[in-house]
Amino acid sequence: MLRRLCLAAALLALASASAFAAAPKPAARSAALSPERFRVERDSLPNGLQILLHEDHSVPAVCFFQWFRVGSRNERQGITGLSHFFEHMMFNGSANVPPKQYDVQLESQGAYSNAFTSYDQTAYYEEGGTASLETMMRLDADRMRSLSLLPDLLKSEVEVVREERRFRTDNSVPGMLDEALYSAAFVASPYHWPVVGWMKDLERITRDEMVEYFRTYYAPNNCTIIVSGDFDPAWVKAKLREYFGDIPRQAPPPRPVNAEPEQRGERRVSVHYPSETVTFVAGYKAPAVSDPDHYALEILASVLGGGESSRLHRALVYEQQIALSADAGFRAQLEPGLFEFWVEMKPGASGADGEKALYAELDRLVKDGPTERELQKARNQVESRFVYTLETNRGAAQMLGRYEQNHGDYRALFDAVDRYRAVTAADVQRVAKQVFDARRRTVATLVPENETEAAR
């Protein structure tokens, strides 16, 4: 991947010439990642299907993405979990592909497939040699046009999703705490319910609701196809028209309703479960991706939780020795979300001690801001993750999809490095003061109990 490695080297050279040196001048930075170096061609079909092509002949391999503008935020009470459910169903057969044969046909050519669902989007992708690209297009067009929605298939796959929920949420400390945090923090936002859905909804969703949801959201005019890697653009555009061009567009989906009121006081929720240690997660209301402060908030998250030298790990794990781990995270989403903290206490240490130590570190940062060394380290961390993502066909395609969906135009990624490097200590201090308001905080705590208590 010579060209991508050159791109990475160009960006990393700016960050690593001196680990804590002052940021280069804007003109030098903006030359590192540009439309000339990272070329993308945009196309579309009359049925509304959007197409992004990133050509790279470094290796004879491709990644093919279908990026649907639908996630759990597009659901409603009663049908929660449908987006994730269709992530499963899309591999279960279509008009010309029998059940369980989708992956068989891909793997016979040395390719593979996967998918992911989030609050904001659902994406399906395949990776393989260039020779497998037409098979990817044929299979994906067939399931967009005529996915198998037979009652027996729907029923069996719902059982699979319910079992996944039991494993990843109902019997998982991270899953239970995450669900408890979001359902308490949000009361009228589409982020109130989990991506996997409520168990009672999974038990009652009807076939008619499933069919209508698929018709509405898995239409060509609600999809962006992204191809990254070794291919001939003219050939790909012709084949996309051949395979996808006759799939009818549908009426535009309704916009999700976010009626979340202002939070005017701290919220708390406890989860009782067998455990040797106390764990708690805290979330502060934070802005959506449309707010330009999200760049400063990502840098702030790295200052607080970016590795073993971060503020929280150093204070709670090394110095005070009350926690096994202490992390921070923020990722801007389409709706206002949460700036999150995750702290696992040492055996015998209380959640109250952990919260006291956490809030003391937040207060100190709000008062004094980050040091220049912390700031430059955080910039380097965020930038390096950004650059490394672009090194692979899948990473490049996923980055294009993320910026196209969340920022409204993939070209916003060309400004990202400059925006991260432009974040100042004053910016970090300002957004910390705005976000870390105890009245807009929600805390979910795991309360350890033994097996006898749990069985009562």
Quick check: 98 and 128 in contact, CB under 8 A?
no
Q: What is the pLDDT of residue 235?
A: 98
Interatomic CA distance for residues 280 and 102, integer angstroms: 41
Pull the structure tokens for residue 316: 């709670």
Report pLDDT for 35. Answer: 86
Locus of tokens 């070794």: 230
Select from 65, 73, 59 the least CA-distant residue to 116. 65
Using only C-alpha atoms, what is the Rg of the chain? 23
**Residue 20: what pLDDT?**
33
Rounded to whole angstroms, the Cα distance separating 370 from 379 reads 12
Please provide the size of the chain in residues.
456
Task: Write out 36-93 in H/E/C secondary structure.
Answer: CCCCCEEEECCCCCEEEEEECCCCCEEEEEEEECCCHHHCCCCCCCHHHHHHHHCCCC
Answer yes or no: pTM beyond 0.85. yes
* Structure tokens, 338: 């949460």
259 CB neighbour count, 10 Å cutoff: 8
Angle at alpha carbon of residue 202, lines to 279 and 260, rounded to 5°: 60
Contact 193, 335 (CB under 8 A): no
In one-letter notation, the amino acid at residue 425 is A
Q: What is the pLDDT of residue 222?
A: 98
> Can you identify the CATH homologous superfamily of domain 267-455?
Metalloenzyme, LuxS/M16 peptidase-like (3.30.830.10)
HEC letters along 356-402: HHHHHHHHHHHHHCCCHHHHHHHHHHHHHHHHHHCCCHHHHHHHHHH
Domain boundaries, the chain: 39-244, 267-455
- Judged by DSSP in three states, 128 sits in strand
The answer to whether the 39-244 and 267-455 domains have the same CATH topology is yes
- Distance of alpha carbon 322 from alpha carbon 117, whole angstroms: 35
| Residues 416/363, Cβ–Cβ less than 8 Å | no
CATH number of 39-244: 3.30.830.10
Encode the chain (456 residues) as per-residue pLDDT tens digits.
333 333 333 333 333 333 333 333 333 333 457 888 899 999 999 999 999 999 999 999 999 999 999 999 999 999 999 999 999 999 999 999 998 899 999 999 999 999 999 999 999 999 999 999 999 999 999 999 999 998 888 988 999 999 999 999 999 999 999 999 999 999 999 999 999 999 999 999 999 999 999 999 999 999 999 999 999 999 999 999 999 999 999 999 999 999 999 999 999 999 999 999 999 999 999 999 999 999 999 999 999 999 999 999 999 999 999 999 999 999 999 999 999 999 999 999 999 999 999 999 999 999 999 999 999 999 999 999 999 999 999 999 999 999 999 999 999 999 999 999 999 999 999 999 999 999 999 999 999 987 545 444
Q: At 261, is the secondary structure helix, strand, or coil? A: coil
Q: Token pair of 230, please? A: 């070794």
Question: How do the residues of the chain divide into helix, strand and coil, expressed in percent and rounded to 5?
Answer: 50, 20, 35
Sign for the pseudo-dihedral over CA of 230, 233, 239, 240:
positive
